[in-house]
Amino acid sequence: MSAWWSNGVRFGCQPLCGKCCDQPGGVVFLTTSDINRMADFHELSFREFIEQHCTKSMNGRVILKSNEKSGICIFLNETKQCSIYTVRPQQCKAYPWWAENLRNEHKWNETKVLCPGIDADDAIIIDGKTIRMHVLADREASKGFRI
Ligand code: SF4
């Protein structure tokens, strides 16, 4: 049986939104490619980037640091924009196409409460092949890595 979303889903990320990032306690697992991309962007070495901008999850995977007071990603700026958008981590690129959000239509409707891009007036149909690509990319990124 094919997934409920296999014929496509309406979505269009909304400019100046940033609600998906503006979540205290969010955890972003990173791949080594994510680190390389973000380190290059900041003109840092792989290890320097980890020392300055990363911490570890409970089970030792490398994750992005959050702001100590707000608990929100350190790269979300005052205007709620991602300051590293062009090199953002794979997990961030894959949102809202995370397996947990797509598990069933009920979960998707819950995701819709957070994400105004789902069924937005200017949304376009994202085809099932593209959605699957994001789901797999998120699954891979979620494995993370340890140092
Ligand atoms: S919450 Fe949805 S619409 Fe808003 S920035 Fe994130 S993906 Fe885009």
- Going from the C-alpha of 142 to that of each of 42, 70, 100, 117, 125, the distances in angstroms are 23, 23, 12, 23, 26
E strand or H helix that includes residue 64:
strand 62-64
- Going from the C-alpha of 99 to that of each of 19, 40, 52, the distances in angstroms are 19, 30, 30
- Supply the pLDDT for residue 1: 75
- Supply the pLDDT for residue 73: 96
How remote is the CA of residue 30 from the centroid of ligand 1, in Å?
20
Tens-digit pLDDT profile for the chain (147 aa)?
Answer: 799 999 999 999 998 899 999 999 999 999 999 999 999 999 999 999 999 999 999 999 999 999 999 999 999 999 989 999 999 999 999 999 999 999 999 999 999 999 999 999 999 999 999 999 999 999 999 999 998
> Of 10, 20, 73, which is best to mutate to test ligand 1, by the most ligand atoms within 8 angstroms of its C-beta?
20
The verdict on the CB of residue 94 being under 6 Å from ligand 1 is no
DSSP letter string, 16-37: T--TTT--TT---B--HHHHHH
Q: What single DSSP character describes residue 44? A: -
How remote is the CA of residue 62 from the centroid of ligand 1, in Å?
24
Say whether pTM exceeds 0.85: yes
The strand pair at 54-56 and 62-64 is best described as: antiparallel
Nearest C-alpha to atom 2 of ligand 1 is from which residue? 115
- Supply the pLDDT for residue 16: 87
The verdict on the CB of residue 95 being under 6 Å from ligand 1 is yes
Nearest to 102 by CA among 73, 123, 133: 133
- Supply the pLDDT for residue 108: 98
